[in-house]
């Protein structure tokens, strides 16, 4: 017969659940972040159990020792930094709720991480993807033509708006209106933003709705409110399925599949806008970034591309052999 769980361990589990509920309901934190926080706290609890401690009883040294174990096991600095973020939020919650008198994570420093520049497709590569998407996968049937129209619609909207993939696949059917030149999206933190829709994207979306939506829409009622309906539990196309379709399209277009993802097209949207002279604040608003610092990565990308161009083509670089 299994031993009953100690009362203090059960109490720590209840604290974790109440913390996660607070982060979800009061802070509007995404489901993915909630799952990551829960996972990191559970792993820390398993580490502490070997010392006969619970997360409620942990000291700063315990957190430091755990992070040292992660580092020794070659966990990436970014992974360690996310773990520290979870601890800082969790123990701040325990402190502010007067569950414990101190915050053992307050002075724990996040590992320094170097944020890599995002992968970006050229305008020519995006155009090549769109041209290839317009060619149905053989044998050509009414359904394969409809799937081609759907893929063009997905690509045009994504490249025209820079939506997160989760926002894109969960667009309601009502998001596209012939009388509107924009779409309204509820993003992270339940914040709504209005994004202009290009003529080309609007034309692709209206054409897909008119000719192909009904062909691909399942009979189940829960699927019929979505712009990109599917038989799955969610009722709409999943982010994973769209990513798979993109990689298949990349192969057909002669582009390395590992170079393509929905997020890469979001990067392309932002980068190409800035290259065209768009204001950084405007791009921030359309992307739904809470901080301008996040959007500034695209200015660094522009600088890096310019450096490579100068390095390759400047007559004094030593690489320009004409």
Q: Which residues belong to the active site?
A: 164, 188, 263, 266, 289, 298
Tell which phi-psi region holds residue 176, choosing left (phi > 0), alpha (psi between -120 and 50) or beta: beta
Number of residues that make up the chain: 322
Sign of the alpha-carbon torsion through 185, 191, 192, 197: negative
Bond preceding residue 139 cis, omega within 30 of 0: yes
Radius of gyration from C-alpha coordinates of the chain:
24
Sign of the alpha-carbon torsion through 276, 281, 286, 292: positive
Contacts of 21 (CB under 8 A, 6+ apart): none
d(CA 90, CA 8): 17
**DSSP label of 4:** P
Strand 182-186 and strand 192-196: the pairing is antiparallel
CB 12, CB 55: distance < 8 Å: yes
Sign of the alpha-carbon torsion through 94, 97, 98, 103: positive
Q: Residue 198: how many CB atoms within 10 A of its CB?
A: 14
Strand partners, 185: 193
Q: Residue 96: how many CB atoms within 10 A of its CB?
A: 9
d(CA 111, CA 78): 7
């Amino acid at each position: 017969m299994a031993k009953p769980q100690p009362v203090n361990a059960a109490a720590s589990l209840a604290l974790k659940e109440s913390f996660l509920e607070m982060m979800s309901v009061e802070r509007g934190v995404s489901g993915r972040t909630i799952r990551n926080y829960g996972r990191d706290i559970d792993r820390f609890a398993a580490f502490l159990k070997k010392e006969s401690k619970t997360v409620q009883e942990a000291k700063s040294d315990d957190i430091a020792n755990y992070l040292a174990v992660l580092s020794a096991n070659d966990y990436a600095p970014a992974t360690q930094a996310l773990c520290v973020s979870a601890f800082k939020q969790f123990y701040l919650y325990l402190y502010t709720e007067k569950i414990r008198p101190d915050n053992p994570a307050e002075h724990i420093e996040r590992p320094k991480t170097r944020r890599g520049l995002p992968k970006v497709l050229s305008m020519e590569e995006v155009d090549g993807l769109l041209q290839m998407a317009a060619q149905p996968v053989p044998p050509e049937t009414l359904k394969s033509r409809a799937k081609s129209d759907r893929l063009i619609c997905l690509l045009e909207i994504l490249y025209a708006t820079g939506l997160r993939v989760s926002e894109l696949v969960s667009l309601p059917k009502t998001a596209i209106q012939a009388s509107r030149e924009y779409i309204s999206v509820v993003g992270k933190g339940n914040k709504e933003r209005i994004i202009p829709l290009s003529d080309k994207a609007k034309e692709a979306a209206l054409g897909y709705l008119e000719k192909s939506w009904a062909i691909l829409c399942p009979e189940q009622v829960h699927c019929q409110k979505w712009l990109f309906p599917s038989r799955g539990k969610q009722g709409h196309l999943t982010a994973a399925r769209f990513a798979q379709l993109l990689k298949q399209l990349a192969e057909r277009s002669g582009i390395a599949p590992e170079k393509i993802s929905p997020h890469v097209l979001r990067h392309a949207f932002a980068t190409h806008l800035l290259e065209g002279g768009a204001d950084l604040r405007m791009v921030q608003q359309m992307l739904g970034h809470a901080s301008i610092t996040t959007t500034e990565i695209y200015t660094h990308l522009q600088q890096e591309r310019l450096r490579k161009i100068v390095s390759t083509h400047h007559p004094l670089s030593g690489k320009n052999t004409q």
